[in-house]
Structure 1
Amino acid sequence: MSLSTRLRRPQQSDDPSSSSSPPPSSFYSKVDKQGSLSNYWEPLHFLLYKSGFQTWEYSSQFALRSYLYILFHELVGRPASWLFAEEKLRVFYAVRIFLALLSVITDTVLHKRVGLSSLAFLELIIPRMSVDDIIFQVSCQAHSLSRRFKQAFLAGAAISVALLVSSVLVDHYYYSGWTSSLLNLLIYNVAGGGESHLYGTEGPLYYLRNGFNNSNFCFVLALLFLAMVPIARKKYAPNLLIVVSPVYIWLAFMSLQPHKEERFLYPIYPLICVAASAVIESFPDVFRFDYDSQGNSPTVMTAKILRPVVLSLILCASHARTFSVINGYSAPIEVYKLLEDHDDVGTGSILCVGNEWHRFPSSFFVPDYVGEVRWIDDGFRGLLPFPFNSTLGGTAAAPPYLNSKNKASDLQYLRDLDQCTFLVELQLSRPFPSRGSDLSTWEVIGALPYLDRELSPAKYRSFFIPYLWQHKNIFGMYKLHRRVPK
């Protein structure tokens, strides 16, 4: 993979996260990748605090993102900003907890409607959903999925139309013009109106690898659902096939697109759990024959025992994945928190970030005494996010330096590095120099280990294996530097 691609987008197969995790993960898991960060958390920060980074997708010239999605976050973010005043980190976590609670509620509704005993367990341990998936679940679970599909379809269609109309109205307010972000997005990614293939391109097996990394054996079982349908004798099987069919349609459609990101699988995460739980529930039906109506044969009893065994295997794999992600990749979110302890430098200081721009955890982690966050040139030649420009119109602006071709702007880098007060760097075992190694200029005020995915074997870095995870993987140091006073 080229350097530009690596810097443009971290590898989600090894470095995933979710913006709406269960409560513990809401505190300890890393923040999502820069694409999602700048497209969601940064606009939210701008709405709340009048500062934040803007990507070209939020330029009114392109309008690929809807502010309706941001308003769902602002429902909690706005009151939290009043309650916690300048403590922006608390606002950030309040929003994440809010998303987690919504996820729990919709998981419960899904479990009750479908009626699969193992579903609640899988929903608890498999990666969570974001707001768009919650809306999807609410519409799909408006009526019983096993019997009233016509009503469920009509309810889902009505909610979809209502959301589409709401999106257009909300975006008219923020973009100061009539536009449809959904239509713009389809034109860009599907109809050839954009250049999505310029970065983040992956092979056809990308989503299969990511599906196993993030949902492990649950993902494998979900793919086996089609094979189980003719075998299973559960009354829900034919109808449930209609429900989980988007898993296969979505995987096939997204795999055909050159630009791939792990977060594109979020809409089918709940259905992956549904399909997997249906397969687990159907284990005894594979071995039940017509003459064994009671299902008391040794093979059927063995199949029943197999269900908790498989669930335990999924649980262990999920915890191993969670441990690897949190302990291997959480350094950025922890290092940026250290800025809170260095306000003695005075207001107006500048935080500089080089090739670690894509792991910047959001402006919520930047204290008010820091006047600017600036990117510095470390060789990346793609377009980087710019601060929202209130002079040009804020959310309604169409800045000339933003483009849909991923072409770097001459204005995106800070050229005078002497202005930097703080510096964030990831030091790896590579044959290129580190700015922070100049001890006459920089002092280290925070350093945490960060898993080096390029030098660590995939089978050891992806899942935690006791002893081997620590000794087989290679770690760099994620560092926060402060300029030495002269």
Structure 2
Amino acid sequence: MSPPSQVPLKAESASTTRKEPFIPYHIVLSIVFGVGLVSAAFATIPDCDEVFNYWEPTHYLSYGNGLQTWEYSPVYAIRSWLYVGVHSLVTLPFSLAPGIDKSHVFLALRTILAGTASLSLTELYDSLSRSIGPEVGLLFISISVPSAGMFQAIPSYLPSSFAMYFVMFGMAEFLKASVSLSKALTYFSLAGLLGWPFCLALVVPQLLLWVFENGRTTGVVGTVQRLAWGVTMPLIVLISVIGVDSLAYRKLVFVPLNIVLYNVFGGSERGPDLYGTEPWWYYFANLSLNFNAMAAVAFASIFPLVTALAVMPAGITKRQFVLLLPFYLWLGIFSLQPHKEERFMYPAYPALCINAAMSMNWLKDFIHFFAVKLKIEPKAASALGTAMVAVVLLLSAVISTSRTIAITTAYSAPKNIYRSDQNISGNVCFGKEWYRFPSSYFLPAGARPRFIKSAFAGLLPGTFAESNTPFRDGTWKIPENMNDLNQEDYSKYVPIDQCDYLVDSYFSGREDYTGSSEPNYILDTENWEPVACRRFLDAAQTPFLSRALWIPNIVYRDQRVWGEYCILKKKMQKKEVVT
């Protein structure tokens, strides 16, 4: 049986007028990948979930040791071994090569992630340029590339970033003149089943438009046939996810369903709210920091659409309207959830940039429209609109770059204090800095991360059952003392006297930090000596503007307050000589 023919959809005025992008594909890809390489090298790891739930299991698969969270216990099974397994296979040539430092393997995987993101971003740019218009495509890439939000999301080893890549591939496919439904749905199934299941909501607007338009050209029967054929590859993805994860856990599991059940139907005693809640406006504030003016333009993109429909309705198409919906849909769903995190917005970052791009393009058209009404020459009116939009884009890019520099210069110490020549071995302990541990990729083969008691009273990761065989028993063995209630377990701690090294921070003026449970070990020069230290921003004592943006001293007096972030080595205690 062969699939139904890919019937081009009926032309819809300007939306399907084929136009060439302003900048060739390969040039855009080179630019985006260049920025991606910078982000892979310098972007921080702001979320401990990325380390403990993804970098550590991947390190375990590659090297036989790593930290284990409760999510990887077969009792709960809400993390996919297929997801981390694919990434482990990608880095296998690097991890097996002799003489390659593990931190370089870390960078190699980040580079591969950045390359995948760059390709998907360029695909979406190309499709937007050809289907909606080259102006929108150019605006989209001009908003995306310099944004602080995309800089952070592109190299992040998170299902939400992975979902973002394949959502972009899927959106790009839906925008093509002859849509391959099977390919589009496969991209979205990879985003939702291998990445993050909630991002399947983002396919709904475009899929409904496809059903409507295809139904008009091929009828109900033809549409149902194409839908049936289109889900073939997604079913293969589904079977692969269930099969590999079930093999790893040694029981039948469907991880995406477990994720939804835990996060949505976990009940009052468990669920994501145990890890903190935020007010309804959290994402509005966070997106404004990461996209500045472009976030505001995206939030308000429905208003230019309504205005455009009133002023020049012939220039608005169903496809343009549908492209605005995913961002609003995602923002609405996640703003209603009490537990909020920056990474939850990653899959919708491209949709935000699309909304902002279309709004800026409509703004340019409005300026041209009203300038002509005021008897200004058409060429001058067009130049005026283009210039005003260019100024806004330039200011936005400058602010985003300032934000990126502020973050990378302020919070990179947890990655930068480790060097291959430090000869670290034994137990490397983390107290109050447990959530900034950048992963075992930064520790030598003979070192192991350990935790000491701090003011934190939740559940810390344990350790996978170490293995020197290719088949890691820790994927299916049930670890001891795990729970899904974030209840503290004291077996996860080691006594301070078992620590050979210690990672700690110190901020002047807070000598008593949070009491005796978190002493400032950096000041304990009798028992500890520094191996390496880097400055680290004291966010509590730094004014908001100074910590949110990097501003040159010639423009604004630097008011940042710095602390120290160090690796400490235990001093050898001198034995008293009895005479």
Q: Could you state the TM-score of these two structures normalised by the residue count of structure 2?
A: 0.74
- SS of 2:504's partner is strand
Give the 3 Å change call, closer, same or farther, for CA 295–402 of structure 1 in structure 2: farther
Query: Which residues of 2 match residues 342-357 of structure 1 at below 5 A?
Result: 342-343=422-423, 347=425, 349-357=426-434
Cα contact 2:546–2:558 (8 A) shared by 1: no
- Residue 568 of structure 2 aligns to a residue whose secondary structure is strand
Q: Secondary structure at the match of 2:306?
A: coil
**Deviates most, 262-271 or 446-455:** 446-455
* Counterpart Cα distance in 2 of 1:285 and 1:305: 12
**How far apart in 1 are the matches of 2:257 and 2:465?**
25
After superposition, residues 115-194 of structure 1 pair within 5 angstroms as 115=129, 116-126=137-147, 127=150, 128-129=153-154, 130-144=161-175, 148=179, 156=188, 158=231, 160-193=234-267, 194=270
Distance 1:464 1:237 in 2: 41
**2:15: which partner in 1?**
none
> Secondary structure of 1:327's match?
helix
Determine the structure 2 residue equivalent to 1:7.
Answer: none
Pair 1:482-2:569 in alignment: yes
Q: Distance in 1 between matches of 2:100 and 2:391?
A: 49
1:63 and 2:72 correspond: no
Per-residue CA deviation, residues 163-184 of structure 1 (Å, 9 max, x unaligned), is 3332211211211111111111
Match of 2:65 in 1: 51
Aligned residue number for residue 380 of structure 1 = 456
- Checking the alignment, whether the CA contact within 8 Å between 1:452 and 1:473 is kept in structure 2 is yes
- The 2-side partners of 1:300 and 1:231 are apart by 19
Q: How does 1:2-401 map to 2 (within 5 A)?
A: 22-85=36-99, 87-115=101-129, 116-126=137-147, 127=150, 128-129=153-154, 130-144=161-175, 148=179, 156=188, 158=231, 160-193=234-267, 194-232=270-308, 233=312, 235=315, 237-289=317-369, 292=372, 296=378, 300-335=382-417, 337-338=418-419, 340-343=420-423, 347=425, 349-370=426-447, 372-390=448-466, 393-401=473-481
- Is this contact kept in 2: 1:456–1:473, CA < 8 A? yes
Is the Cα–Cα contact under 8 Å of residues 94 and 100 in structure 2 kept in the other structure?
Answer: no
What is the distance in 1 between the residues matched to 2:43 and 2:371?
Answer: 52
Q: 1:480 to 1:137 in 2, by over 3 A?
A: same
1:320 partner amino acid = S
Match of 1:403 among 475, 483, 488: 483
Distance of aligned partners of 1:122 and 1:208 in 2 relative to their CA distance in 1, 3 Å threshold: same
The equivalent of 2:8 in structure 1 is none
Alpha-carbon shift at residue 153 of structure 1 (Å):
6.1
Counterpart code for 2:250 = S
Alignment match, 2:31: none
Q: Please give the alpha-carbon distance, in whole angstroms, between the structure 2 residues aligned to 1:264 and 1:244.
A: 19
Q: Structure 1 residues 309, 151: CA separation in 2 closer, same or farther (over 3 Å shift)?
A: farther
2-structure distance, mates of 1:378, 1:469: 37
SS at 1:308's partner residue? helix
Deviation at 1:219, TM superposition (A): 1.4
Q: Distance in 2 between matches of 1:446 and 1:120?
A: 40
Find the structure with the greater CA-based Rg: 2
Do the aligned partners of residues 262 and 290 (structure 1) sit closer, same or farther apart at CA in structure 2, a change above 3 Å counting? closer
In structure 2, relative to structure 1, the CA distance for the partners of 1:74 and 1:151 (3 Å cut) is: closer
> In the TM superposition, what is the alpha-carbon distance from 1:109 to its structure 2 partner?
0.4
**1:75/1:133 CA distance change after superposition, 3 Å:** farther
Structure 2 residue identity aligned to 1:369: G
Q: 1:274 to 1:440 in 2, by over 3 A?
A: same
What is the Cα deviation at residue 216 of structure 1?
1.7
- 1:68 CA drift (Å): 2.5
For 1:252, give the aligned amino acid.
Answer: G
Return closer, same or farther for 1:191/1:351 CA change in 2, 3 Å cut-off.
same
Residue-pair matches, total: 460
Contact 1:287 1:299 in 2 (8 A): yes
Q: Secondary structure at the match of 1:231?
A: helix
Secondary structure of 2:44 counterpart: coil
Tell me, yes or no, if the aligned pair for 1:172 and 1:179 is still in contact at 8 Å: yes
Aligned to 1:14: none
Query: Does the 8 A contact of 1:84 with 1:91 survive in 2?
Result: no
Q: Following the alignment from structure 1 to structure 2, what is the Cα–Cα distance between the partners of residues 295 and 174?
A: 69
Using the alignment, how far apart are the partners of 2:377 and 2:478 within structure 1?
67
Task: Give, in whole Å, the separation in 1 of the partners of 2:120 and 2:184.
Answer: 18
CA distance in structure 2 between the partners assigned to 1:146 and 1:474 by the alignment: 54
**Matched-pair contact (CA < 8 Å) for 2:58–2:87:** yes
Q: CA deviation at 1:390?
A: 4.6
Write the distance in 2 (CA, Å) between the matches of 1:290 and 1:23: 43
- Take 2:261 and 2:126, find their aligned partners in 1: how far apart are those partners? 38
Q: Deviations over 1:203-236 (max 9, x none)?
A: 1111111111112222111112111112335846
Secondary structure at the aligned position of 2:138 is classed as coil
Structure 1 unaligned blocks of 5 or more: 1-19
In 2, Cα distance between the equivalents of 1:123 and 1:57? 33
Aligned to 1:404, the other structure's residue is in SS state: coil
Q: In the alignment, does 2:515 pair up with 1:436?
A: no
| Higher percent of residues as helix | 2
Q: Is the 8 A contact 1:231 1:286 kept in 2?
A: no
Q: State the one-letter code of the partner of 1:428.
A: F
CA distance in 2, matches of 1:236, 1:37: 45
- Match of 1:403, as an amino acid? N
SS of 1:229's partner is helix
Residue 499 of structure 2 corresponds to: 420
